[in-house]
Amino acid sequence: MFDAIATKYDFLNHLLSAGIDRRWRRRAIRSLALTGRERVLDLCTGTGDLAIAARTARPAAARVVGVDFAAAMLRVARDKLWRRRLADTVTLVRGDATRIPAAGASVDAVTIAFGIRNVENINAACDEISRVLKRGGRLAVLEFSIPTMPGVRGAYLWYFNHLLPRIGRLVSRHDAAYGYLPASVGAFASPGEFVKILRQSGFIDVSAIPLTMGIVFLYTARRG
């Protein structure tokens, strides 16, 4: 499914979020408090937007490794890296979030943008993230949520369940992908449940920060 929509993925992300997705990614990278020396692993990197944000921040990560299971998404990411002259400092690897192709305690920070809900075994992925992070290393995860604010919740659910899938199908020419999006968000752990999963995987200082009226949460943590 992700391979099928890879060439339209960035356009639809920006269109369906009215461009706010860029702001969410910048906020996630700021939470890492980079100094310019870090090696960052961007898991479920997709077309590489968060990996690029980590490498172009000020200060930026020294090196970034992007891991994703979808080969077509990685091809789009690779083209973007070449255009931005970042291919020497951002490495892309095809891999599974529950079996991360990295040595234990080998990275200073891990990021995930809108990908953790797509992992079949979230607990296993969080355990793997904990394994590859150095002690004290930082984690930043962006993920959609269902807002709880009265009024906002109803309007969001109408947009998310009715308008968004129609626009997604029209642009991507893929029937299932943008119906899958609201379904996967509805099935994902609540913020409180995901915080508990992170703590069970050895993370400390875990926070769940609502962004844009709770449409998205930024989860931050440190490896204990």
pLDDT (average), residues 147-155: 89
DSSP code, position 36: S
Query: pLDDT tens, 3-53?
Result: 777 787 777 778 778 889 999 999 999 999 999 999 999 999 999 999 999
pLDDT tens profile 103-119:
999 999 999 999 999 99
Displacement of CA 72 from its chain's centroid (Å) = 17
Residues in the chain: 224
Instruction: Give the H/E segment covering residue 42.
Output: strand 39-43
Please state whether the peptide bond connecting residue 150 to the residue before it is cis, i.e. omega within 30 degrees of 0.
Answer: no
Q: Which of 85, 95, 35 has the alpha carbon at shortest distance from 65? A: 95
Where along the chain do its domains lie? 6-143+189-223
- Spatial distance between the Cα atoms of 6 and 35, rounded to a whole number of angstroms: 32
- Distant-in-sequence, close-in-space partners of 224: CB < 8 Å, separation ≥ 6: 135, 202, 203, 204
The pLDDT score that the predictor gives to residue 165 is 78
The fold adopted by the segment(s) 6-143+189-223 is Rossmann fold (3.40.50)
